[in-house]
Amino acid sequence: MKLKVVDSRLSLGSAYKLIVVGWVLSWGALFGTIFGFVVIAAITSGSMTINGEVVEGIGAIAVQILPFVIMLPLIIVFHAFVFGGLLVAGLALYRLYRPIEVVHFTETDKPLPHPSNGT
């Protein structure tokens, strides 16, 4: 992933991209794991209670879980776009009063000098 830095300042588009990708990957991993455990439990037990009804058989369970399989990625991506936008809007407001700067470090060197703090 390439992030755009202009005059040692991270662009809002790059911040948005970083937030959305991080959100999708982290929430996808979390809910994907939970969904995996639910599917394993449903397959091994052979029955599941969905919406107050007992569903038996792997085929019937698969059909009942299908909306969750379809909607989960859509919900995660939608949340990433919406809440990523809200976070970037907050960063834009913060950036009006205080700069958000990117400082470059190497493993063996000291931080690069910056004109504002005189180091």
Q: Model confidence over 59-104: pLDDT tens digits?
A: 887 788 888 888 988 999 999 999 999 999 998 898 888 877 777 7
3-class state of residue 9 by DSSP: strand
Residue 53's φ and ψ, nearest 5 degrees, are -115, 140
- Whether residue 118 is predicted with pLDDT greater than 90 in this model: the reply is no
Q: How far apart are CA 24 and CA 45, in angstroms?
A: 31
Identify the pLDDT of residue 18.
Answer: 87
- At 112 the pLDDT is 59
Give the predicted TM-score (pTM) of the model.
Answer: 0.66
Pick from 10, 21, 3, 1: nearest CA to 94: 10
Query: Does residue 54 surpass a pLDDT of 90?
Result: no
Contact call for residues 8 and 101 (beta carbons, < 8 A):
yes
Confidence of residue 116 (pLDDT cuts 50, 70, 90): low
Nearest CA-CA partner of 1 in 19, 85, 76, 9:
19
